Amino acid sequence: MNKNAPAKKKVIVVGGGFAGLNAVRSLDHKRFDILLIDRINHHQFQPLFYQVATSQIEPTTISFPLRYIFRKDYEVKIRLAEVRSVDHHSKMLSTSIGEFTYDILILAMGATTNFFGNDELRKHAFTLKTTYDAIQIRNHILQSFENLINNPADESSKTIVLVGAGPTGVELAGSFAEIRRDILPKDFHRLDFNQLRIILIDGSANTLNAMSEASRKHSRKYLEELGVEIITDTVVTSYDGNVITTNHGDTIPTHTVIWSAGVISNTIQGLPKECVGRGNRLKVDPYNELINHPGIYVLGDMALMETSEHPSGHPQLANVAIQQAKNLARNLNRSEHGKSKRAYEFKDLGTMATIGRNKAVVDLPFVKFQGFFAWFVWMFLHLMLILSVRNKLIIFLNWTSAYLTRNTALRIILKGRETEK
């Protein structure tokens, strides 16, 4: 060890999602003392949560233990804790396991489901923001069909309502429609799944409203061909666990509501209110540094970087989080060599969504396409983003088997002791 070497700067990264993970991986581990803090011990591949929820893949194939990811990086320390507050004056982070000092703090805590202040919806609706959420939905859906065996007249158990027609809602709707047609009738011989309603509700006039006109049109067409009921220009105002009510006064009896109608940034105590902008996001400069707070950086869904092209901030997408994390890490690495920083520039890599077997929509910066080729591109790109070779292989084999047989064998209800009575 070189005693004359300068002391490493202490970097704390909060959050092991796309932003936090890429920041830690891209930082120079020889020059920074890195501590990664998260509430859970694994990185979650959110784009495929819907496939766990619909019994297409196992949760372990898209969940990667943080200690395994950094098993060869002895310089990276990992702690499981709830982050409570930050004291930016003394550069101290308070957590459920104690306090940690830092030289550089990187906040990458992501976003959570936005219920727009409606506590009733928050209490009764399902969300899909974690692997655990996906398992809960899978358990609930499968248990609902078991309940129907004993009570076939229960209309509420024959209706699945998805609120929010963005990629998550559209992908869930398409998957539920396909298992209704191809898989569930093989398991539940005495149930008529033609009576199972899958309803997709959105407040805008379209499905995939943030995508191109072609993608909106084709996604709606694909869903309607699968028998999904689409209700647009409609807002859900209440849900008591049994009945949904809309702003038009319509009611829908259902025991299953999955809410994906919006997100809001996670928060941390201790920062001035003037740092907080739209959607609870934290205001940052072009280098992702918190406004008027040197040494604190914010990435991904939490960051509000206002530019001429994105006056309300960049879209809360995985590719934005990854790009910002890599740019910040490069800047911090460059600063250790006395080099200048480079402002973050958004590179639009496109958006895409799949709507079941052989159907997807893809919007790339210079071309837009739909159908089988779009579905193939969607599968390939998502497979490449999976972290480990082993998991890529498992998912590929699962997808291949499901494609050839139109079936999976993953319909297991997993519950704790208290719910198994």
Q: What is the model's pLDDT at position 417? A: 55
Provide the whole-model pTM.
0.92
pLDDT digits (tens, 9 = 90+) for 243-287: 999 999 999 999 999 999 989 999 999 999 999 999 999 999 999
Q: Does some domain include residue 72?
A: no
Q: What is the CATH number of the domain that holds 393?
A: 3.50.50.100
Q: Does some domain include residue 15?
A: yes
Q: Does some domain include residue 345?
A: no
Q: Does some domain include residue 74?
A: no
Residue 211 and residue 202: Cα distance in Å, rounded? Answer: 14
Residues of the chain whose pLDDT is less than 50? Answer: 1, 419-421
The answer on 290 and 371 residing in a single domain is: no
Q: Does some domain include residue 331?
A: yes
| Cβ count within 10 A of residue 378 | 20
Share of the chain above pLDDT 90, in %: 76
The answer on 328 and 233 residing in a single domain is: no
The answer on 148 and 92 residing in a single domain is: no
Q: Does some domain include residue 13?
A: yes
Pairing of strands 229-231, 159-163: unpaired
- Residue 370 CA, chain-centre distance (Å), reads 23
Q: What is the CATH number of the domain that holds 98?
A: 3.50.50.60
Q: What is the model's pLDDT at position 87? A: 95
The answer on 170 and 128 residing in a single domain is: yes
The answer on 89 and 25 residing in a single domain is: yes
Q: Does some domain include residue 250?
A: yes
Residue 254 and residue 161: Cα distance in Å, rounded? Answer: 7
Q: What is the model's pLDDT at position 141? A: 92
The answer on 247 and 158 residing in a single domain is: yes
The answer on 143 and 236 residing in a single domain is: yes
Backbone angles phi and psi of 110, in degrees to 5: 70, -160
The answer on 206 and 224 residing in a single domain is: yes
pLDDT digits (tens, 9 = 90+) for 164-204: 999 999 999 999 999 998 888 888 888 888 899 999 999 99
Range of the domain at 167: 119-261+357-419
The answer on 87 and 147 residing in a single domain is: no
User: What contacts 24+ positions apart, CB below 8 Å, involve 281-285?
Assistant: 281/313, 282/107
Number of domains the chain is built from: 2
The answer on 175 and 149 residing in a single domain is: yes
Q: What is the model's pLDDT at position 186? A: 86
Q: Does some domain include residue 53?
A: no
What's the Rg (C-alpha) of the chain? 23
The answer on 201 and 270 residing in a single domain is: no
The answer on 255 and 291 residing in a single domain is: no
